[in-house]
Structure 1
Amino acid sequence: KEILHLLSIFFVLAAPAPALAPPNRTGRGCPPLYREAFVLSGYRPVGLPWRCYVLSLFQIHNDSVKVWCPLLAALYVATRLLLFVVLQGGVSIVFYTHKTYYLQPLGMCFLSLSLAAALLLHPRSEPVRLSLFLLDSAGRGLHQFGRALALSVYSSDADWTDSIMGQLYLPAAAVLSWLSCTAGCCGELFPRHCDLSHRRLLQMGPMSLAFLLDISPVAQRLYSCPWSSSTAVLLHVLHFVLQVVLFLTAAFFLLCPVPECLSPGRFDIAGHSGQLSLVLLTLSTVSQQEALLRDFSWRRAGVVRRFGEEYLLKACAGFIAVTLSLPATALVLRRCGILARSTR
């Protein structure tokens, strides 16, 4: 019976899906909620069966680049992490000793997969779209706090850790991760009160503050250390500059509809600002992950001795608290948004 059930699922998924032909150049047939400014075609029809959107992963539309970008990033990070764990002696030796590091790549994989699912499946219906993008907002906040936690442990110096900034770093990172989640949820719950550019600005504010806060231990470390002291420091400088340049460029494309505003319709499938910003943000995150992996390789031996087991356990407990609070916030805001709509 189980084999027959699996075969039936396979044939359902393998059955030919209805053609996902994009609407005409005017964008008629696609509700305003699903449109992007100056992007005229390439939209998938709304309300088709689930398997149509799953199979659209292998079709060309204006979400193709945005779906494959986080999927490939998650695959790369997961493969890199798995190879590192295997080469370093297995999960039992590495993972349980350095939980604070592995929270960051796991959080990035969760964010990438939730974002890919939201971009792939959101035309199914408005409630599905809302739920998926709220999950993505929670994943974004979780990734930000996991990144801050790992950088504070493996990429900071003792002087920074003992400073006031180092003492307030993790609480501030937790607040900014919550603000990032809340801003993303509000932008999705009340789309009629703000256009796409305002929603992007609402999303970019807490994200930029979180990025500036997260890189502060690395910036202080590079400022106080001679760049010519070793090739390792010079490599870290290059990673740091690359992260900042990619993030600033991504912020520009996220806030400005360039180049599609210059030639509406020409960059519908590939090249519009939403795709460019996502690709650049993903590259910045992957570059930061590579730099953090190098710090972890060099400094992991002295982490427990420097911070103490109690501090690391408290940091992991804080990560669990943030993990629980962000989905709870998304659920509460979703309920408030639904109630606000029903009372109009």
Structure 2
Amino acid sequence: MLSLKVPKLFNIDQVPQVFHEQGILFGYRHPQSSATACVLSLFQMTNETLNIWTHLLPFWFFAWRFVTALCTTDIQNDSYSWPMLVYMCTSCVYPLASSCAHTFSSMSKKARHICYFLDYGAVNLFSLGSAIAYSAYTFPDALVLTAFRDYYMALAVFNTSLSTGLSCYSRFLEVHKPGLSKLLRILAFAYPYIWDSLPIFYRLLLFPGVSAQNEAILYHWKHMAMTLLASFFYSAHLPERLAPGLFDYVGHSHQLFHVCVILATHMQTEAILLDKALRREWLLTVSQPFSFLQIVASLLLCLIFSLGNIIYFSAALYWTPESELQKKET
């Protein structure tokens, strides 16, 4: 009869420091787990289990919405819908990458870093997808025919490269300078979001124009609120910092962060869909839809720059002498 042995779990004192999470004392997986053990941990309660499922289940929901949109869109002739399809595709990529990163991050020290490098790249690809959709559908009337919109996408692509590089670099400071590491990572994710959201801030805080005064505004507010809440949980390490060991398996800040991020993406999707439908006639009258070349060029540049950063920092893990890594990570 086939039987599978449940992997043993460890406390914080039994794993290298690079695996430590603030306020999490128990439920760590073996720091050199096999790929099989990592997959089995999806069905075992560890301190990573809900981190995995809070993004793996939403991935299937977003994938279903994306496939549904593909099946109901005349892709060849409806260029107006192309930015929406790109956005929905990237909204599937980041939760899948995150769930895979949390699943396989216990295979080794180097594997942990590389998993999260890929996770950061996926987040920045989603950031670019958001910028493409915002530029196509959500710009306030006053900014549609301006130089700001002309350069908006170029800087969004540049931001993905810089953000991926900065967030990857922050992992090298995680053990000996944890405060600086956390600050750099927060900045790496915050400034692309702020840049991408400038058109939304204009709509919410200033006069957006007649075509931009619609039902999508409420969802943009909800998206912003959930994003701020997600940022709070990511940076504050609450509630586990107040009661170490109590929230190791359920309720710690990274799980709450994941839930808030997914809800924020859902609200963002609803807002973009509403803007796309309600502003279609006006937008097609005053501006031209993105061309296929513009969209593909933006995505390719993002992938090239982000993968270049990931490859460089992954290689740097192997360039660093093992003795120095041990000094930093133990």
Note whether the superposition's TM-score is higher than 0.5.
yes
Q: Secondary structure at the match of 2:250?
A: coil
Count of paired positions: 323
CA apart distance, 1:68: 1.0
d(CA) in 2 for partners of 1:274 and 1:166? 35
CA apart distance, 1:166: 2.0
Q: Secondary structure at the match of 2:215?
A: helix
Q: Given the superposition, is the C-alpha separation of residues 307 and 329 from structure 1 closer, same or farther in structure 2, using an over 3 Å criterion?
A: farther
Q: Given the superposition, is the C-alpha separation of residues 221 and 263 from structure 1 closer, same or farther in structure 2, using an over 3 Å criterion?
A: closer
One-letter code of the match for 2:221?
V
1:53 to 2:49 alignment: no
Higher relative contact order (CA 8 A, sep 6+): 2
Q: Given the superposition, is the C-alpha separation of residues 309 and 274 from structure 1 closer, same or farther in structure 2, using an over 3 Å criterion?
A: closer
- Structure 2 counterparts to residues 229-248 of structure 1, below 5 A: 233=213, 235-248=215-228
CA apart distance, 1:148: 0.6
Give the corresponding residue for 1:329: 309
TM-score (norm 1): 0.84
1:120 to 2:120 alignment: no
Query: Could you tell me which of 224, 227, 245 is aligned with 1:265?
Result: 245
- 8 Å CA contact 1:22–1:61 kept in 2: the answer is yes
Give the corresponding residue for 2:8: 21
Give the corresponding residue for 1:79: 64
d(CA) in 2 for partners of 1:42 and 1:140? 27
Query: Could you tell me which of 211, 214, 219 is aligned with 2:201?
Result: 219
CA apart distance, 1:233: 4.3
One-letter code of the match for 2:6?
A
- Structure 2 counterparts to residues 298-317 of structure 1, below 5 A: 298-300=278-280, 306-308=286-288, 311=291, 313-317=293-297
One-letter code of the match for 2:4?
A
Q: Which runs of 5+ in 2 are unaligned?
A: 325-330
d(CA) in 1 for partners of 2:54 and 2:64? 16
d(CA) in 1 for partners of 2:269 and 2:2? 40
Give the corresponding residue for 1:11: none
- 8 Å CA contact 2:217–2:271 kept in 1: the answer is no
Query: What per-residue deviation string (whole Å, max 9, x for no partner) do you get for residues 191-239 of structure 1?
Result: 33322x543322211322222222222232343247xx89x94532221
CA apart distance, 1:312: 5.4
Q: Given the superposition, is the C-alpha separation of residues 303 and 206 from structure 1 closer, same or farther in structure 2, using an over 3 Å criterion?
A: same
Query: Could you tell me which of 135, 157, 169 is aligned with 1:152?
Result: 135
- Structure 2 counterparts to residues 58-73 of structure 1, below 5 A: 58-73=43-58
TM-align CA RMSD: 2.7
Q: Secondary structure at the match of 2:237?
A: coil
One-letter code of the match for 2:253?
S
- 8 Å CA contact 2:140–2:208 kept in 1: the answer is no
Query: What per-residue deviation string (whole Å, max 9, x for no partner) do you get for residues 88-143 of structure 1?
Result: 3555555x663222211211211111111010111111222222111111111111
Q: Which runs of 5+ in 1 are unaligned?
A: 1-13
- 8 Å CA contact 1:157–1:221 kept in 2: the answer is yes
TM-score (norm 2): 0.87
Q: Given the superposition, is the C-alpha separation of residues 236 and 140 from structure 1 closer, same or farther in structure 2, using an over 3 Å criterion?
A: same
d(CA) in 2 for partners of 1:175 and 1:288? 22
d(CA) in 1 for partners of 2:19 and 2:322? 21
d(CA) in 2 for partners of 1:310 and 1:118? 33
